[in-house]
Amino acid sequence: MFKDTVSTAKQLDQWFSKLVSLIPQDIYAPLNNASKTPSVGRNTKKSNKEKKKRGNEKKTLLKPSATTTEQMTKNSALAASQEKSQENETPLNSKLEAVLAKTRGEKLKNDPKVLKRKLKEKERKKRKSAREWMQRKKAQEEKQKLKQLKREQNIQKRKMKRKSKSR
């Protein structure tokens, strides 16, 4: 039994090293240094000047100028570049998210067989619902036709009674 735990510990260590290799360093570095306590110093509090500025700000309307349009184009270019970078990093991020979710103990819903089965089941339910809807629609149309026919017959009866009374 002791040998099993040793091999499991080795496997766990290998698995963890693979996980760490998947995490980008800019994300892993803060996680690695999380045990260190943050420093508390003078710079953590806002200065009195900053506090005073907040209350004395004047509200003005912004007029569009060349600088604002340049900023807008820069912002749009920046957003486009970020989208491209997200598209490039998507497989790595999705794999990373999946691994981290699995380590947190969450259930992953990315098994292709299960997803395919669920998709087929959803389509089947959709077809069944459409079939039932058509049946209800036909039944309602038939009821309406029967009511119209009965109404016509009743009108004819009234006409016959009126004719027989008038003769």
Average pLDDT in the 122-147 region? 97
In percent, the amount of the chain with pLDDT more than 70 equals: 59
The predicted-structure confidence for 120-134, as pLDDT tens digits, reads as follows: 999 999 999 999 999
Angle at alpha carbon of residue 158, lines to 153 and 161, rounded to 5°: 125
Place of tokens 């691994």: 99
The predicted-structure confidence for 79-121, as pLDDT tens digits, reads as follows: 776 676 666 556 777 788 888 888 888 888 888 899 999 999 9
Mapped onto helix, strand or coil, the DSSP state of residue 160 is helix
Angle at alpha carbon of residue 56, lines to 51 and 62, rounded to 5°: 120
Amino acid at 163: K
For residue 24, which of 78, 97, 80, 82 has the smallest C-alpha distance?
Answer: 97
Give the predicted TM-score (pTM) of the model: 0.35
Pull the structure tokens for residue 85. Answer: 């970078």
Q: What is the DSSP string of 46-92?
A: PPHHHHHHHHTPPP-PPPP-HHHHHHHHHHHHHHHHHHHHHHHHHHH
> What are the helix (H) ranges across the chain?
2-22, 25-32, 48-55, 66-104, 112-166
Q: What contacts 28, CB < 8 A, 6 or more positions away? A: 20
